[in-house]
Amino acid sequence: MTPQDASQSNEALCRLAPVIPVLVVDDVAIARPLAEALVAGGLPVLEVTLRTPVALDAIREMAQVEGGIVGAGTLLTPQDVAAAKEAGAKFGVSPGATDRLLQACEDADLPLLPGAATSSEAMRLLERGYSVQKFFPAEANGGVPALKSIGAPIPQVRFCPTGGVSPANAPDYLALSNTLCVGGSWVAPKDAVAKGDWARIEDLAREAAALPRS
């Protein structure tokens, strides 16, 4: 898979809904009902971060949910890429980007949404062929004003800002011409997940799916 192919694939995914849920799953038993609630609410693209021992099993469970497209987040190494692909991930997300990680994803035909925090990082990824990137950590890096400023001289790159994105600031990110969608965890709050309150999560997903985009 070429970087251009990866960017084309991820742009299509990012356009399916304004929000990609960023999920940290601690109990594989909740994986499927959580995915079902989010998909039912209108958020079909799900990112499961590889931050827990059950993350790969959660991806396997969520990949079976009709209408869902599940990816693996927090990819750091080629080993992560291989494991994510084997578990059924359809795309990958990384907090940053290294040549080894990029090459591993290209070799594995796993479309990567690589992380960039600065203009230089965005330019380097664009030079390789990645025109769709993750802006991370968004709020810590200056938020909406920073992303808008990066977009002025580098309009070829479109972003999915993640990190500190909330219902309060998501509309401001989505109003930017260089934002395709945002990533956020607020649609699956820990208390609702712990209680199995799937109706609440579905409602939050529906509200997120209705957010306007530029």
The set of catalytic residues is 47, 134
| C-alpha dist (Å) from residue 68 to 124, 135, 141 | 32, 23, 31
Contact 20, 181 (CB under 8 A): yes
| Residues contacting 57, CB < 8 A, separation 6+ | 28, 31, 87
| C-alpha dist (Å) from residue 8 to 12, 54, 186 | 6, 30, 27
Question: What token pair was written down for 3?
Answer: 């970087």
